[in-house]
Amino acid sequence: MTMWSRSIWERNTMLEVEGINALYGDFHVLHDASLSVNKGELVAVVGANGHGKSTLLKAICGLTPVKSGVIRFGGGDTAGLKAPQLVGQGLVYVAEDRRLFPDMTVLENLLLGAYLPAARAAEKHNLNRVFSLYPRLAERRNQLCRSLSGGEAQMVALGRGLMSDPTLLAIDEPSLGLAPNLTETMLQTVSQLNKDGLTVLIVEQSLALLNGMIDRVYSIEEGVLRETDTDNMQEVL
Amino acid sequence: MTQILEILISGITQGAVYCVVAVGLSLVYGASRILNFAHGSLYSLGGFLAWYLVADGPGLPLWLAVLLVLPVLALTGIGIERAIIRPLRGSENWKINTIMVTLGLAFIIENGLQLVFGPGTRTIAPFVEGTLSVGGITITWYKLSIFVISLALVGALEFFLSSTRYGQAVRAVSQDMQGANQVGINVNQIFGLTFALSVVLTGIAGILLAPVFLVSPLGGWGPFLKAFVIVVLGGLGSTKGAFVAAFILAVLEAFVIFYIGPSWAMPAWLLMLIIVLMIRPKGLFGVWEN
Amino acid sequence: MSLGKSKSKSATPLIASVFTGVGLKQQSLVYWLVIAALALVGGLIGDSYIRHIFILVFIWCVVIASWDLILGYAGVFNYAQLVFFTFGAYGSGMLSIYAGLTPLLAILAAAGIGAVIGVVIAMPSLRLKGEYVALFTFAVHLALPPLIQQGRAIGMGGNTGLLGIPWLNLFGYQVSPIDKLTWYWVSLTIGAVCVYLIYFVILRGRMGLAFIAMRDADTFAQAIGVNEYRYKLLAFVASAVFTAVAGGVYAHYTGVVTPRVLGTEFFLMAMVMLAIGGMGRFPGAVLGVFIVVIGNELLRSFDDYRLLLLGMAVVLTVIFLPHGMAGLFRKRG
């Protein structure tokens, strides 16, 4: 990073968070959190449960209100924008609890990912991509999401996010509720997507899971965010 | 035997119209978890507007009146959502507050109608006269046509929900609001849409039943309660369930009216409501309620 | 979850003040001083029409306090409050007409009738959730007028109503409805006692504690073994008993009961009182009664528009004043 001139660095910054504070009820969850994600990076935020990881991601994606601070996405201030508008700009959130539509089929869920006009244009292409990524979803396309296993549900959640044609995919703890081998496959997929050019901001409990695939990592503790060296982090954990 | 068949047919034709009122109620509940107590008053509103245009005011043909009333009903629905429901969203006592405001709205509409048009009942002449007799069974052409129209309306709604983008968005909002937000659905817009559709459906039912049940400012409570019983039996939020339940209950009503008397119809509905709530509080097909 | 967090904080001081009895004595004293002042005012008012308005206020206070108990405090969406009132009025009236019961005894019997009706409506209601309860109870309300018409056979008078209900007899003294001053004091006494029992005895006892626990921390309440069903049933019955008493008093005051007590006007009035006063925040609901009854009298000149205005008042207060008048005094509750 140091070798880049400042102007280039700025041009490559996709997401920039500066000193945001967020409350959950009366509970102060995020304290002056700052973070940046550059184009093409895979950035992780790692921390234990209840330290504000999810809130950080939801705040960035316009799903939870921010008390103060600035969030810039693609150069523009996102203040006042809600999730639907941000999705339209390519900032897409994949929830830890999947948030699928249980009484709709896999295909319907995926197609709803391409609800907005911008994503709709790429609907066919993205659907093929998801199905080639997860042939299993193609087989089960007419099955109700209610009846899917945890691993399959996570596939639909990620697939639905991809259907929104993201420029930045914010993934909230994909390992939640998954068996270790499924988690590994899931994270490998994310890594592959990143190598293919997708910018990713991912939140996880443990850095060990993300070993070797991330560009930069932040640790979060009691709502305080800090950029950490991956090696240092390894020691801390 | 013929008599029983006639009662059965009368119940089935009636059931189709009840179903229209019920799916409207169910649509709003499914999407926004609001039980709209003004649903019956909006039914009366539809009937009154059509009556005014056809019989009282400019004397338009019914089809033209319906064409004019439809956008008014849709805008009314959007206006209700925007003006009195949305300000309450996220409030501490959301549930009781929505009950209070929709009940208050019901009284506003009723008394507004009474002020503008005066109390008492009105009627609209049926758009077809005469009866059809097949094998000794007689049915009026009018009942047959409102049966067909109602089926078409419910079918159109079902198609809208299952096969169009906005319809899918309605279902998505009903099943997971945050999930809907995440994929870029403007949830408020969908709430407005469901209210618009709901008011249109109940208003049309009010027009269709005007020649049968008459229109009066307070006349909406009956259809509202019936719609509610249907929705509860069918399962809140399930169009399919409402469809089946409407026929079962309307046929039961037809038998009660014939064998016990018309003044027992309402108590019978209440009894059915209690029985349904006791035995199957989730309804036959309650799918949207997780 | 977020609600639980923020609420438990605000609920803590409330629980402390309500259940350690701190302030109970002073507040009772203030309450009875206000009542005494009202009693005095009754003597000073010369106009019998104004006395009449106050008599209605006192009767309404019992109905609304009872409704507040079940809706605002117990959190049961009961909309059959006027059903209890109707049973009390008809019950008391009929018992004194047909069974020759002296009115005071008849009103007492009406309380018993209220208890029975309370149980009958509570049992199915308490098996249902939120808005289902609202609809079921309101359906009962709507179904009652036709049944009263059917009840002509047993002397309910049908549409014209129950006529010739005997005057109140206070230990040998016949209180005519024209004797507004005595009626003022009678209704004030009954109203004051009922409201006191509801807000200062029932809601400050175990039941009140249970309701606050259930409202603010449902799982916590279940964990400490609050028997929700039992307390809600008791609240229903208490609410019905007091309301039936109010119905009985009303019957003997007006001498006539018609199905109009279940009409739109009374129901709307009751809703506006609760909305304007504020639910679950004593003395909000009771203040709401004063405001609405007096306001309604002032609106008499707009007779045609009165019901429309009342309906609008409900909607507007719920939207713009979500905690009613009570919310103006207390910033957080």
Chain A interface, mutation test: which of B92, B165, B174, B183, most A Cβ atoms within 10 Å?
A: B183
Strand A42-46 versus strand A199-204 pairing type: parallel
Put simply, the answer to whether B179 touches A113 (Cβ < 8 Å) is: no
Asked whether the predicted pLDDT for residue C187 surpasses 70, the reply is yes
From A26's Cα to the closest Cα of chain C, the distance in A is: 6
Q: Give yes or no for B184 touching A (CB within 8 A).
A: yes
CA pair distance C198, C286, nearest whole angstrom: 12
Asked whether the predicted pLDDT for residue A27 surpasses 90, the reply is no
pLDDT at C312: 92
What value, to the nearest 5°, has the Cα angle with vertex A148 and ends A146 and A150? 110
From C116's Cα to the closest Cα of chain B, the distance in A is: 18
Report the candidate in B108, B144, B114, B112 with the shortest Cα–Cα distance to residue B126.
B144
C-beta separation of A113 from A162 below 8 A: yes
What is the identity of the amino acid at C57?
V
CA pair distance C16, C14, nearest whole angstrom: 5
Asked whether the predicted pLDDT for residue C16 surpasses 50, the reply is no
More reliable by pLDDT, C135 or A102: A102
Report the candidate in B139, B83, B15, B131 with the shortest Cα–Cα distance to residue C318.
B83
Q: Give yes or no for B268 touching C (CB within 8 A).
A: no
Mean residue pLDDT across chain A: 89
Q: Chain C residues with CB inside 8 Å of A63's CB?
A: none
Put simply, the answer to whether A26 touches C3 (Cβ < 8 Å) is: no
CA–CA distance from C102 to each of A99, A186, B122, B131, C190 (Å)?
66, 81, 47, 61, 17
CA pair distance C73, C210, nearest whole angstrom: 10
DSSP code, position A109: H
Write down the domain spans for chain A. 40-63+82-236
Residue B44 binned pLDDT confidence (cut-offs 50, 70, 90): very high
For A29, nearest residue in chain C (alpha carbons): C2
pLDDT at B284: 66
What is the enclosing helix (H) or strand (E) of A192?
helix A180-195
Query: pLDDT, tens digit, for every residue of B202-231?
Result: 999 999 999 888 888 888 888 998 998 898
Mean residue pLDDT across chain C: 85
C-beta separation of C51 from C45 below 8 A: yes
pLDDT at B281: 65
Give CATH for domain B2-279. 1.10.3470
CA pair distance A233, B33, nearest whole angstrom: 46
- Given the candidates 2.70.98.70, 3.40.640.10, 3.40.50.300, 1.20.1050.10, the CATH classification of the domain at A40-63+82-236 is 3.40.50.300
Put simply, the answer to whether C322 touches B225 (Cβ < 8 Å) is: no
For A94, nearest residue in chain B (alpha carbons): B182
Query: pLDDT, tens digit, for every residue of A140-175?
Result: 999 999 999 999 999 999 999 999 999 999 999 998
Put simply, the answer to whether B281 touches C71 (Cβ < 8 Å) is: no
Which of B107, B263, B273 lies nearest to residue C311, judging by beta carbons? B107
Q: What is the mean pLDDT of residues C12-39?
A: 73
Asked whether the predicted pLDDT for residue A196 surpasses 50, the reply is yes
**Terminal Cα distance for chain B, rounded:** 44
Q: Under the phi-then-psi rule, with left for phi > 0, alpha for psi from -120 to 50, and beta for the rest, what region is A42?
A: beta
pLDDT at C206: 83
Radius of gyration of chain B (CA): 19
Put simply, the answer to whether A24 touches C5 (Cβ < 8 Å) is: yes
Report the candidate in A115, A142, A114, A117 with the shortest Cα–Cα distance to residue A127.
A114
pLDDT at A232: 60
Report the candidate in A15, A157, A134, A10 with the shortest Cα–Cα distance to residue A78.
A15
pLDDT at A132: 94
Asked whether the predicted pLDDT for residue A13 surpasses 70, the reply is yes
DSSP code, position B31: H
Put simply, the answer to whether A112 touches B185 (Cβ < 8 Å) is: yes
Put simply, the answer to whether A26 touches C6 (Cβ < 8 Å) is: yes
Asked whether the predicted pLDDT for residue A46 surpasses 60, the reply is yes
More reliable by pLDDT, A50 or C106: C106
Helix, strand, coil tally for chain B in percent (to 5): 75, 5, 20
Q: Chain C residues with CB inside 8 Å of A24's CB?
A: 2, 5
Asked whether the predicted pLDDT for residue C14 surpasses 70, the reply is no
Residue B57 binned pLDDT confidence (cut-offs 50, 70, 90): confident
Residues of chain A above pLDDT 70, percent: 92
Q: Give yes or no for C6 touching A (CB within 8 A).
A: yes
Neighbours of chain B (3+ CB pairs under 8 A): A, C
CA pair distance C306, C296, nearest whole angstrom: 8
Asked whether the predicted pLDDT for residue B113 surpasses 90, the reply is yes
Whole-model pTM: value is 0.86
Q: How far is CA A15 from the centre of its chain?
A: 12
For C6, nearest residue in chain B (alpha carbons): B92
Query: pLDDT, tens digit, for every residue of A70-87?
Result: 999 988 899 889 999 999
Report the candidate in B189, B174, B155 with the shortest Cα–Cα distance to residue B235.
B174
Report the candidate in B47, B73, B50, B77 with the shortest Cα–Cα distance to residue B62.
B50
Q: Give yes or no for B266 touching C (CB within 8 A).
A: yes
Q: Chain A residues with CB inside 8 Å of C9's CB?
A: 26
From A132's Cα to the closest Cα of chain B, the distance in A is: 21
Lowest mean pLDDT among B121-135, C71-85, C145-159: C145-159
Q: Chain A residues with CB inside 8 Å of B176's CB?
A: 99-102
**Count of CB contacts below 8 A, B vs C?**
107
Q: Under the phi-then-psi rule, with left for phi > 0, alpha for psi from -120 to 50, and beta for the rest, what region is A210?
A: alpha
Q: Return residues 20-59 of A near C (CB < 8 Å).
A: 24-27
CA pair distance C312, C318, nearest whole angstrom: 10
pLDDT at C227: 81
Query: pLDDT, tens digit, for every residue of C263-304?
Result: 888 888 898 899 888 888 888 899 999 988 988 888 888 878
Chain C interface, mutation test: which of B96, B105, B218, B230, most C Cβ atoms within 10 Å?
A: B96
Q: How many residues does chain B have?
A: 290
What is the identity of the amino acid at B113?
L
**C278 CB burial (10 A radius; 0-12, 13-18, 19+):** buried
Q: Chain A residues with CB inside 8 Å of C5's CB?
A: 24-27
Residues of chain A above pLDDT 90, percent: 71
Put simply, the answer to whether B103 touches C271 (Cβ < 8 Å) is: yes
Question: Token digits for B40?
Answer: 């019956």
Write down the domain spans for chain C. 2-262, 264-333
C-beta separation of B271 from B225 below 8 A: no
Lowest mean pLDDT among A51-65, C111-125, C297-311: C297-311
DSSP code, position B13: H
Over chain C, what HEC string results? Answer: CHHHHHHHHHHHHHHHHHHCCCCHHHHHHHHHHHHHHHHHHHHHCCCHHHHHHHHHHHHHHHHHHHHHHHHHHCCCCCCCHHHHHHHHHHHHHHHHHHCCCCHHHHHHHHHHHHHHHHHHHHHHHCCCCHHHHHHHHHHHHHHHHHHHHHHHHHCCCCCCCECCCCCEEECCEEECCCCHHHHHHHHHHHHHHHHHHHHHHHCCCHHHHHHHHHHHCHHHHHHCCCCHHHHHHHHHHHHHHHHHHHHHHHHHHHCCECHHHHCHHHHHHHHHHHHHHCCCCCCHHHHHHHHHHHHHHHHHHHHHHHHHHHHHHHHHHHHHCCCHHHHHHCCCC
Put simply, the answer to whether A104 touches B183 (Cβ < 8 Å) is: no
pLDDT at B278: 72
What are residue C38's phi and psi, to 5 degrees?
-60, -40
CA pair distance A208, A49, nearest whole angstrom: 16
Lowest mean pLDDT among B99-113, C191-205, C268-282: C268-282
Put simply, the answer to whether B185 touches A84 (Cβ < 8 Å) is: yes
Could you give the 3-state DSSP secondary structure of residue A121? helix
Lowest mean pLDDT among B14-18, B117-121, C145-149: C145-149
More reliable by pLDDT, B35 or C115: C115
Per CB distance under 8 Å, which residues of C are interface residues toward B?
A: 3, 71, 77, 79, 124, 127-132, 134-136, 138-140, 142-143, 146-147, 150, 264, 268, 271, 275, 279, 304-305, 307-308, 310-315, 318-319, 322
Q: Give yes or no for B178 touching C (CB within 8 A).
A: no
Query: pLDDT, tens digit, for every residue of C208-232?
Result: 888 877 777 666 667 666 788 888 9
Q: What is the mean pLDDT of residues A54-60?
A: 93
CA pair distance B146, B142, nearest whole angstrom: 6
pLDDT at C138: 87
Asked whether the predicted pLDDT for residue A57 surpasses 80, the reply is yes
Lowest mean pLDDT among B146-150, B242-246, C83-87, C236-240: B242-246
pLDDT at C2: 35
Asked whether the predicted pLDDT for residue B288 surpasses 50, the reply is no
pLDDT at B74: 98
Q: Give yes or no for C153 touching A (CB within 8 A).
A: no
More reliable by pLDDT, B75 or B33: B75
Q: Chain B residues with CB inside 8 Å of C138's CB?
A: 37, 103
CA–CA distance from C261 to each of C89, C95, C145, C240, C265 (Å)?
9, 19, 9, 16, 8
**Count of CB contacts below 8 A, A vs B?**
67
Q: Under the phi-then-psi rule, with left for phi > 0, alpha for psi from -120 to 50, and beta for the rest, what region is C163?
A: beta
CA–CA distance from A181 to each of A187, A188, A209 (Å)?
10, 11, 11
What is the enclosing helix (H) or strand (E) of A19?
strand A13-24
For B187, nearest residue in chain A (alpha carbons): A84
**B36 CB burial (10 A radius; 0-12, 13-18, 19+):** buried
Asked whether the predicted pLDDT for residue C15 surpasses 70, the reply is no
What value, to the nearest 5°, has the Cα angle with vertex C100 and ends C94 and C101? 80
From B133's Cα to the closest Cα of chain A, the distance in A is: 44
C-beta separation of C274 from C313 below 8 A: no
Report the candidate in B92, B153, B17 with the shortest Cα–Cα distance to residue A25.
B92
CA–CA distance from A102 to each of A99, B74, B173 (Å)?
8, 29, 11
CA pair distance B86, A38, nearest whole angstrom: 38
Q: State the ipTM, two decimals.
A: 0.88
CA pair distance B86, B84, nearest whole angstrom: 6
In the block, residue with structure tokens 């009613």: C324
Q: Give yes or no for B290 touching A (CB within 8 A).
A: yes
Q: What is the mean pLDDT of residues A185-199?
A: 94
Q: Chain B residues with CB inside 8 Å of C326's CB?
A: none
pLDDT at A75: 85
Put simply, the answer to whether A63 touches B178 (Cβ < 8 Å) is: yes
pLDDT at C295: 87
Number of H helices, E strands in chain B: 11, 2
**Count of CB contacts below 8 A, A vs C?**
12
Residue C80 binned pLDDT confidence (cut-offs 50, 70, 90): very high
Put simply, the answer to whether A95 touches B287 (Cβ < 8 Å) is: no
Put simply, the answer to whether B181 touches A82 (Cβ < 8 Å) is: yes
C-beta separation of B274 from C151 below 8 A: no
